[in-house]
Structure 1
């Protein structure tokens, strides 16, 4: 490909002509095969401008240029818009050199998009407006790290009158004529505005700042109430928005709504609640109809009373009257107190399952509105709301709502690991993925307790700051530790496939000693007790690994000698490892099967197919 097709096209046509379509070697290939070839070249950093020109064929459905953002130019976007109008998925992450006008012009020609990633691009309100008008099938949108995009700009995704908000409508235009400006009246014709984008996933972390401090929470509240299909949301102010909705503190957003020219949040909430109550009633009615064949006449009568009360109550909600309606009281009397007043009616339930950008002090409100969450990323740092409260207990209480169902948990914490232990005891039994970032460790950090609390983990990622120094704490010699190991005391993670334990480090910092007994047991547990482990990253560990790996190798050799041909029946450490990264970690090993056992090489990163390559040349001695 490189020597024939790409070379010929680059020499004869690339900078001389601009073709709308190219009849080349890839036009007759299936689209998925072209996608696989494009991904392979990108991964190997072999995708050139000429090669990409040839690979842009009409049958292409998925195109990701995240690994080569330098190729994403205005001219390349023109080719994408002309040749790949059937794209379902497009990833232009990191293309910082693209003007927003080029992004808008490109998206105007891609009406079939289901997934779009513009993370780290100059995406702004104009681009979001284009998406709303021209991408009616979009389900996933990633605008993370788009610093020209304010939180309020995301409201354009809601469609309707939000598309004609005062901030930006005067300077934003697309290639097609704009819809008429919405009037303040709620009776505007629906056909005058685009429909809401049917998003199920929106990632918008680290975007631009709003005009006011509370803008992120206000924008998040509008999105939560206006996009009912959202299952995944990553956005600052998310938990605060849930608290605002739960306590109906809508007046706090009045200034925001006036400034942005959008309906008041109270109106949006009333409409969402009306729609949810109607959906619930329809579900109950269908259930009652199914039960009618079994003599469910009484239930049918009860549902009719419910519908009567629901209609009157919904009208009252829209009018903004906080008192209970007369018809509601009648329904209560008929049902003998089984239906409560408005202050005690069913809570609005959001369908979110995956959330990021959450602060831990508002987890209780998030839990009340979003009981179905199975993946969450929480920032656990001190702030004015919980300055006098215990972080661990507040976090544990907030996560209690999802105990037994949470599968993925990510915690950002600048304090000690000990603070997170109560929360992990609450949620650990169901966790499949655990990420701990920014924490500090000490000689007796409770990592083993955390492992015991999370027996189902498949992925464990720990990014820690350099260990705290305790001058009076003695370091235990590593050779003494091996003799003290007792397998009966060590938990196992039989499902663990990926392990990352990385410590921050710079050349100017000295690596302080940590309790070798504490960290050694953790490494011993993770490396030997995880037979399915495939990827290992142990970066800048504050202790050498030689004795641990030697011990694992000794156990493996013992099993091979004792069990011979049936050794495969017994789980062995590092048996399935395909990638290992030991950057800045003290260890000596060979990375080449051809080297004699006595030759060692400090390993920073190596790819391997089995434990023989990893541990074949380990020797006693100092690290590299």
Structure 2
């Protein structure tokens, strides 16, 4: 399935030549003469004529080859650059570089300085004030604080996405400045659609995080994604309508005033928000959250320890859902079969389903679940295997060795409609699988692989039954497969050799902890990859 290494394109060869000569020629001249003269603007070179996308690709090449220096980075801060990410080189990002970005890159629409902890708050303020055309700004794990977010809220009027994840200095009051400018008494960031504010520290005496998140939900009318630990509680607060006592003495409007401007005039009045994505919702809050966010399309839920609770039934009424993540937080877990009514209710609308901690008591529940969602594009399941009541406590007596039986031909009709849109499939099983489960699960995988022609990523992790008879017949039909992980599963070297001899776009093969793959097998695979000049990365340990 892997392909031979392709002949490099002329564009890639030119970029590689530029990357090779950057340090020895242009960067050296810049370092010797201009690096510390920050009023100097540009040095003429072939990189000046590169389109924005090629400049970004050149930066990537220099970074992956560890040839990106501060001088080279300065040279590539070109006036026509529209996207710039410094996440791969946070050590090079200092205050001087921040000033150069503002000075040289006025056309920037996307800037990500995530992890660049050496940029001071004052420089981040200059960035927000000096680049008002930004559409996306990444400030994760930086020194962003109240002054920075105040500058973002008042100056970045076109901002659509902002990431302040892990910023220790971002307080609840700082978040409020994204939605309102108390100095000008005007709304802030009116176009903001995505705000990522995970892992923020609690700051005692600086306001309530729940009230601050509720403030943002009301003050930002276009907000579709708000990732914050207090989101669920803020939604419950807004649904209750008990918004008294949230007045602010520093120029911010109260929650009651904001709710009135959003059409919720009195106590208990209905309020709906345009949120499309909701994270970490608890099962007992589903009905409240749904009432406030009826247009939610992506949802992650933690189910409790009571199988008789109404959470799964409640989800059947969410008519816009297309991406669902369900996790079992209780010690007893849930049966996989309990999801069948929900899957049948969502039907073809469901394009992504992720499951954690469900127990596969009935092996037929997995194909029934997949068959109920023929529109799936992504499926991930980390399942628990039930105990096998017939497991022998004593090892069997040694018997005379018999000739190996021919590989079984698994039935492939468990998914009659197939999964024609499926691109990613991950299945892992924790614990030994009862003997009766193996044939059904093997037939399920055989049916899946025969009915998923667009599959690009396949991960079969820690499956304790042999996969050779499932994989070998299906490999020729998987013409778009790019990543295959069999970590911890039972697969023989012959299947890998069959894989190496099949044409296709496979780029990555994971064989870690496969009990039937040994060091000599791995060395032979690598030798064949080098001999055939295959574009394939094999991992084994």
Q: TM-score, normalised by structure 2?
A: 0.75
Corresponding residue to 2:130 among 106, 109, 119: 109
Contact 1:65 1:72 (8 Å CA) reproduced: yes
The equivalent residue for 1:221 is 214
In structure 1, the partner of 2:343 is 424
Give the Cα separation in 2 of the matches to 1:490 and 1:605.
Answer: 36
Measured against aligned partners, the alpha-carbon deviations of 1:231-268 in whole angstroms (never above 9, x if no partner) come to 222222323323322221213xx2x6558874332222
Normalized per residue, the structure richer in strand is 2
* Distance across 1 between alignment mates of 2:298 and 2:235: 17
1:383-422 equivalence runs, <5 A = 390-391=308-309, 393-397=310-314, 399-403=315-319, 405-414=320-329, 415-416=333-334, 418=336, 420-422=339-341
CA deviations over 1:557-610 (Å, ceiling 9, x no partner)? xxxxxxxxxxxxxxx2x222122233343333247559xxxx94389999x9xx
Higher helix share: 1
Contact persistence 2:19–2:62 (CA under 8 A) = no
Greater RCO (CA < 8 Å, at least 6 residues apart): 2
- The question of 1:271 aligning with 2:261 is answered yes
Give the Cα–Cα distance (whole angstroms) in 2 for the partners of residues 160 and 614 of structure 1.
Answer: 54
C-alpha RMSD of the superposition: 3.9
Distance 2:406 2:421 in 1: 26
Partner deviation per Cα, 1:341-385 (whole Å, 9 max, x = no partner): xx7x7x333222233343332222222232222222x23143xxx
8 Å CA contact 2:195–2:225 kept in 1: the answer is: yes
Which whole-Å CA distance do the structure 2 matches of 1:412 and 1:365 have between them? 19
Residues 537-552 of structure 1 aligned to structure 2 (within 5 Å): 537-552=459-474
- What is the DSSP-based 3-state SS (H/G/I as helix, E as strand, rest coil) of the residue aligned with 2:46? coil
Deviation digits for residues 157-189 of structure 1, max 9, x if unmatched? 11233xxxxxxxxxxxxxxxxx4xxxxxxxxxx
Q: Which residue of the other structure, out of 431, 444, 447, is the alignment partner of 1:525?
A: 447
Q: Which residue of 2 aligns with 1:498?
A: 424
- Residue 192 of structure 1 deviates from its aligned partner by 5.5
Larger Rg: 1
In structure 2, the CA distance between the partners of 1:119 and 1:357, relative to structure 1 (3 Å rule), is: farther
Aligned length: 474
The answer as to whether partners of 1:63 and 1:90 remain within 8 angstroms in 2 is: yes
Q: d(CA) in 1 for partners of 2:354 and 2:61?
A: 29
Residue 14 of structure 1 deviates from its aligned partner by 2.8
- Give the alignment's TM-score, normalised by structure 1: 0.66
> Is the 1:490–1:521 Cα contact (8 Å) retained in structure 2?
no
User: Is contact 2:125-2:148 (8 Å) kept?
Assistant: yes
Q: Distance in 1 between matches of 2:68 and 2:32?
A: 17
Q: Is 1:486 the equivalent of 2:486?
A: no
Q: Is contact 1:141–1:202 with CA below 8 Å preserved after alignment? A: yes
Q: Distance in 1 between matches of 2:198 and 2:427?
A: 25
- Is the alpha carbon distance of 1:601 and 1:5 closer, same or farther for their aligned partners in structure 2, counting shifts above 3 Å? closer
**Is 2:26 aligned against 1:9?**
yes
Deviation at 1:8, TM superposition (A): 1.8
What is the distance in 1 between the residues matched to 2:256 and 2:47? 55
